[in-house]
Structure 1
Amino acid sequence: MKILLVAIPNHHFFQWTNQLKESGYEVYWFDITDGAGFVEKINWVKQFNGWKLKWDYPFRHRLKNKFPKIYTLLERIRTRKVENVFEDIISKIQPDLVHCFEMKLAGLPILSTMRQNNIPLVYSSWGSDMFYFEKLGLKKEVVEQFLNRVDFFISDCKRDYNIIKQLGYSNEFLGVFPGNGGIEIESEYIQLIHSRKIICIKGYEDGFGKALLVLEAIESMQLNDTIDFLIFSADEIVKDYLKKSLYFKTKKVEIISRNSFMPNKLLLQKLGRCSLYIGNSISDGMPNSLLEAMGMGVFPIQSNPGKVTEEVITHGVNGFLIENPNDIEAIANLIRMAIENQEMRVKAQEYNVQYVQENYNRAQLQQAILNLYERVKLN
């Protein structure tokens, strides 16, 4: 079976794709952005990249600065259109199915081509894809047109399936799966609660992510001097804030930039030493990092946009839900309660580690993911 994957270059996409390795499927990837070159993480996949520009020319950046109108004209001439390139790829490989990951960036650019054929189209929703499509600049009728062409739907949460049904989707739902294809837990690095002294914060501040409010909440508290901080996937504005903060200058803070690459195993090992995981946003799907943190025994404090997080967290039992992501005082209170209630964190760790192993174990999900593609083929 020939499977054509369409996606932006993304760590979670690469992890999902590697679940298909040695499956016997013939797997292709169309890099919809043409922004990554050849990706070694999925070097077994036949990749379509380097497609965007017809030619290059010297002094391009100088021309852009000095003569922007001429530069814009040349860019139009030398840039290939996505739909034309994608149509050529379809014609060349004749895939048995097309699987796109995310709607705005990967699904809509290929829609015009897919409407001209009957190739089964599988769509995986990511993040704010369904929940906040209007804030992403998409009109309802455009989303409905896209869903009308989708034959099979995969989601990382139950919430998004309910949303697309309300938008008129009536084709097959393949189920809820983590966007990265499953969690590979580093069990030997899961430390006991009493030895954990690090607060981990997801550093997104991109319009949806609200990491700065978490930092402000922490600054408003008098935390024990033994507590350290891990800020991962930190946007530039978050890094700048930390550099200027008098409070965090006195603390031990490890910052992992959003644009830097860290092997997933190393991040999991770091999570295994963390006491709290805090993720705060006004919109998201089911965060893979939340599931990874839970699997590594970290007590989660997570926002709950569209009630997605309560699918895995029962407030006050195995984590805390941030009901208002803009309420600094409420966030500070949740952090304080979590720190002070060690017994609750011990019970939560035991439950969460087992829950993730039973429901999101990467090795166990692999066969289920392979079966998805077989279901599509049989239809």
Structure 2
Amino acid sequence: MKILMVSIFAPHFFNWTEQLKDSGHEVYWLDVFDSNTHVEKIDFAEQITGWRYKQDFKGRYLLKSKAPKLNKLINLLNERNLTDVLEAKIKEIRPDVVHSFVIYLSGVPVLPVIEKFPELKWILSTWGSDLFYYRKHQEYLEGIKKVLPKIDYLFTDCKRDHQIALENGFNGKFLGAFPGGGGFDLEKLEEYFLPFDERNVILIKGYQGKHGKCLEVLKAISGLHAEIKNYELVIFGAPTEVFDYIESSKLKTWNNLQCLEKLPPEKVLQLMGRSFMYIGNSSSDGMPNTLLEAMVMGAFPVQSNPGGATSELIENRKNGLLIEDPFDIQAIQGDLKEAISGALDVKTGIAYNFENIRPLLDRNKVRKQVLEKYKLIESELN
């Protein structure tokens, strides 16, 4: 089967697509924003990059910074249109299916092209806030409602988003909820895995902004110095706002706190393998990849639950803690205090995840299931 992937440049996408290596499918990737970068991880796929500029002249970046108006005018003449490129590639490649990743970036923009090829099957993968957040905003909802009825096959990263899709016009075949980046190489990750009694890190996702709500966690943590003083507190992925908050609060005086900027995925997994507890808090998400990493690596997960996605894996107070209101500092503080003090049986919760959740996220198992879905699509084409 010829599959034309249409996606942004994203680790989730590369991890997902890697599952198709040696599958017998012929895979192509059109980079919708054209990073003009070849990705070794998916070097088995034909990568359509470097398409945006007719002439990639020297000094283009300098011109953009020094004369933005002139640069914009030049780009009107020099840039190719995504839809024109996609249409040409469909005619050239003659794919059996087009697979779009993220509806508002790689679905809505290409709808006019897809409609020109009514015999072409269309797959959509959603992850994160793709449907949950953007369907609440009219300018995005209009596009979502136009695209979903045209989708033949749907992958999501949580069951919640299947329901949202149904409510907004999807009437195709649901292929299932899978981790957005595929599963995890459990055997490889064993080297990062410390026994429970040797773990001394409380790990916090530092995202702060439109969705990330790390500051609420830090405000909750700041009232638990006595309980946390014997732990190593590590914040990762922190933007300037988080560093500024720490500098202006009493957390600045804590000698057991370390705040880090964005880390490579491998480093995050290493930290997870040393962590007693992982905390992630956001107002909007799908099934958070870092939550899955925590469960795979044996850290007790404390995670926000927007729209009920996280509760598909976590039973509150059994194998993790659910933050139902990401802005409720007192509730977050109370739950953390209970878990850290030993009032909650954290060790049993981790053991449950290890026995029941971790095996479901094995990369080989997930890959086999995903390839079966592509095989199903192929069978329906004939």
* TM-score category, normalised to shorter length: over 0.9
Q: Secondary structure at the match of 1:116?
A: coil
Confirm or deny that 1:121 pairs with 2:122: yes
Q: Secondary structure at the match of 2:134?
A: coil
Cα separation, partners in 2 of 1:67 and 1:323, compared to 1, 3 Å: same
Counterparts of residues 258-297 of structure 1 (less than 5 Å): 258=262, 260=263, 262-264=264-266, 266-297=267-298
CA contact 2:222–2:250 (8 Å) conserved in 1: no
**Aligned counterpart in structure 2 of residue 238 of structure 1, from 238, 242, 250:** 242
Confirm or deny that 1:340 pairs with 2:338: no
Q: Secondary structure at the match of 1:122?
A: strand
Distance in 2 (CA, whole Å) between partners of 1:28 and 1:151 is 19
Confirm or deny that 1:24 pairs with 2:27: no
Cα separation, partners in 2 of 1:42 and 1:235, compared to 1, 3 Å: farther
Counterparts of residues 169-248 of structure 1 (less than 5 Å): 169-185=170-186, 186-222=189-225, 223-242=227-246, 245-248=249-252
Report the CA distance between 1:183 and its aligned residue.
2.3
Letter in 2 for 1:187: E
Counterparts of residues 50-199 of structure 1 (less than 5 Å): 50-61=50-61, 63-64=63-64, 67-117=67-117, 118-134=119-135, 138-185=139-186, 186-199=189-202
Structure 2, unpaired ranges of 5+:
none
Structure 1, unpaired ranges of 5+:
none
Q: Secondary structure at the match of 2:47?
A: strand
Aligned residue-pair number: 376
Letter in 2 for 1:53: Y
Q: Which residue of 2 aligns with 1:44?
A: 44
Cα separation, partners in 2 of 1:66 and 1:287, compared to 1, 3 Å: closer
Q: Secondary structure at the match of 1:363?
A: helix
Q: Secondary structure at the match of 1:285?
A: coil
- 1:214-236 Cα shifts (integer Å, max 9, x gaps): 11211222243221122233334
Q: Secondary structure at the match of 2:228?
A: coil
Q: Secondary structure at the match of 1:300?
A: strand
Report the CA distance between 1:335 and its aligned residue.
1.1
Report the CA distance between 1:321 and its aligned residue.
0.6
Cα RMSD of the aligned pairs, angstroms, is 2.0
Answer with 37-46 or 277-286: which moved more.
37-46
Distance in 1 (CA, whole Å) between partners of 2:228 and 2:235 is 18
Q: Secondary structure at the match of 1:200?
A: strand
TM-score when normalising by structure 1? 0.93
Q: Secondary structure at the match of 2:5?
A: strand
Distance in 2 (CA, whole Å) between partners of 1:54 and 1:242 is 47
Cα separation, partners in 2 of 1:209 and 1:371, compared to 1, 3 Å: same
Letter in 2 for 1:346: K
Q: Secondary structure at the match of 1:234?
A: coil
Distance in 2 (CA, whole Å) between partners of 1:80 and 1:213 is 44
CA contact 2:203–2:271 (8 Å) conserved in 1: no
Letter in 2 for 1:293: A
Report the CA distance between 1:52 and its aligned residue.
0.9
Cα separation, partners in 2 of 1:4 and 1:59, compared to 1, 3 Å: closer
- 1:34-60 Cα shifts (integer Å, max 9, x gaps): 125111222222111111111133444
- 1:294-315 Cα shifts (integer Å, max 9, x gaps): 1111111111100111111111
- 1:84-117 Cα shifts (integer Å, max 9, x gaps): 1111111121111111111111111211111111
Report the CA distance between 1:187 and its aligned residue.
3.3
Report the CA distance between 1:253 and its aligned residue.
4.1
CA contact 2:135–2:144 (8 Å) conserved in 1: no
Distance in 2 (CA, whole Å) between partners of 1:7 and 1:254 is 35
Distance in 2 (CA, whole Å) between partners of 1:43 and 1:305 is 36
Q: Which residue of 2 aligns with 1:310?
A: 311
CA contact 2:237–2:260 (8 Å) conserved in 1: yes
Distance in 2 (CA, whole Å) between partners of 1:161 and 1:352 is 24
Q: Secondary structure at the match of 2:345?
A: helix
Q: Secondary structure at the match of 1:86?
A: helix
Distance in 1 (CA, whole Å) between partners of 2:155 and 2:211 is 22
Distance in 2 (CA, whole Å) between partners of 1:112 and 1:11 is 27
Letter in 2 for 1:197: N
CA contact 1:3–1:27 (8 Å) conserved in 2: yes
Distance in 1 (CA, whole Å) between partners of 2:268 and 2:230 is 21
Distance in 1 (CA, whole Å) between partners of 2:344 and 2:245 is 33
Cα separation, partners in 2 of 1:248 and 1:294, compared to 1, 3 Å: farther
Answer with 289-298 or 130-139: which moved more.
130-139
Report the CA distance between 1:267 and its aligned residue.
2.7
Q: Secondary structure at the match of 2:277?
A: strand
Letter in 2 for 1:18: E
Cα separation, partners in 2 of 1:27 and 1:328, compared to 1, 3 Å: same
